[in-house]
């Protein structure tokens, strides 16, 4: 496609990105268009404000967490390659791609998907979801239908279920173990338009 290749030429190190994320060039071109559309001031990077400007996203109860996940390294600028790398978490796992023995896990592997979910809870990045952190997420998600007291009970029970070493917090290992039966591929994948 002509438009695809012309868009691709604008993307710096497009080939590496395709290699790394597993997106097709059509995907990449499409995401680049979206990136440019989000980048209202044409500054070449996205700021948290750009995300907040997405109307639907602003209504999301845990939108600050999600936006935060894009800016996890603390800086306020998100260039296209990081943007794509984060979105690549949500690519469905492809079975037929032969995995080279030495290559690292692809970004969209189960473990990486889980890691992404985990860091949404783990605000202080100490590798553990504390009761407070969980409570914050729960509070946002359950909104006003549940009293604070009930919320805490839910948080307690949730931690209790996962907490293997009884430190009243969920480490990533515990998180992974307790979600072993969940089909994360289904829960953490979206379809990208070509």
Q: Which of 47, 163, 171, 176 binds another protein (CB under 8 A)?
A: 163
Spell out the residues 6+ positions from residue 57 whose beta carbon is closer than 8 angstroms to its own. 51, 63, 66, 67
Which of the ranges 3-11, 14-22, 97-105, 146-154 carries the binding residues for another protein, by CB under 8 A?
Answer: 146-154
Compute the least distance from the CB of residue 102 to another protein, in Å. Answer: 28
- Write out the binding residues for another protein, residues 36-95 only, by CB under 8 A: 37-38, 51, 54, 56-57, 60-63, 66, 87, 90, 92
**In a 3-state reduction of DSSP, which class is residue 78?**
strand
Report if residue 137 touches another protein, rule: CB under 8 A: yes
Report if residue 120 touches another protein, rule: CB under 8 A: yes
Report if residue 141 touches another protein, rule: CB under 8 A: yes
- 148 vs 1: CA distance, rounded Å: 55
DSSP letters for 125-175: -SSEEEHHHHHHHHHHHHGGGS-HHHHHHHHHHHHHHH-SS-SSEEEHHHH
Opening angle at CA 23, ends 176 and 9, nearest 5: 145
Q: Which of 42, 97, 125, 191 binds another protein (CB under 8 A)?
A: 191
Neighbours of 53 (CB within 10 A): 12
What the block records as the tokens of 133 is 């952190």
The footprint of another protein (CB under 8 A) covers: 31, 34, 37-38, 51, 54, 56-57, 60-63, 66, 87, 90, 92, 116-117, 120-121, 131-132, 134, 137-138, 141-142, 145-150, 152-154, 156-158, 160-164, 166-170, 178-179, 181-182, 185-193
């Amino acid at each position: 496609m002509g438009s695809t290749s012309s868009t691709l030429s604008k993307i710096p190190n497009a080939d590496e990105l395709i290699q790394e994320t597993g997106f097709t060039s059509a995907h990449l071109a499409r995401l680049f268009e979206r990136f440019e559309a989000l980048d209202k001031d044409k500054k070449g990077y996205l700021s948290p404000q750009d995300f907040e400007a997405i109307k639907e996203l602003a209504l999301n109860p845990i939108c600050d967490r999600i936006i935060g996940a894009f800016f996890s390294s603390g800086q306020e600028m998100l260039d296209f390659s990081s943007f794509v790398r984060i979105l690549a978490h949500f690519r469905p796992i492809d079975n037929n791609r032969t995995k080279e023995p030495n290559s690292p896990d692809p970004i969209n592997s189960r473990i990486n998907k889980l890691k992404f979910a985990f860091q949404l809870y783990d605000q202080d990045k100490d590798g553990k979801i504390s009761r407070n952190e969980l409570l914050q997420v729960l509070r946002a998600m359950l909104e006003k239908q549940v009293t604070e007291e009930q919320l805490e009970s839910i948080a307690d029970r949730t931690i209790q279920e996962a907490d293997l070493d009884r430190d009243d917090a969920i480490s990533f290992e515990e998180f992974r173990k307790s979600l072993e039966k969940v089909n994360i591929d289904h829960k953490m994948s979206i379809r990208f338009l070509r």
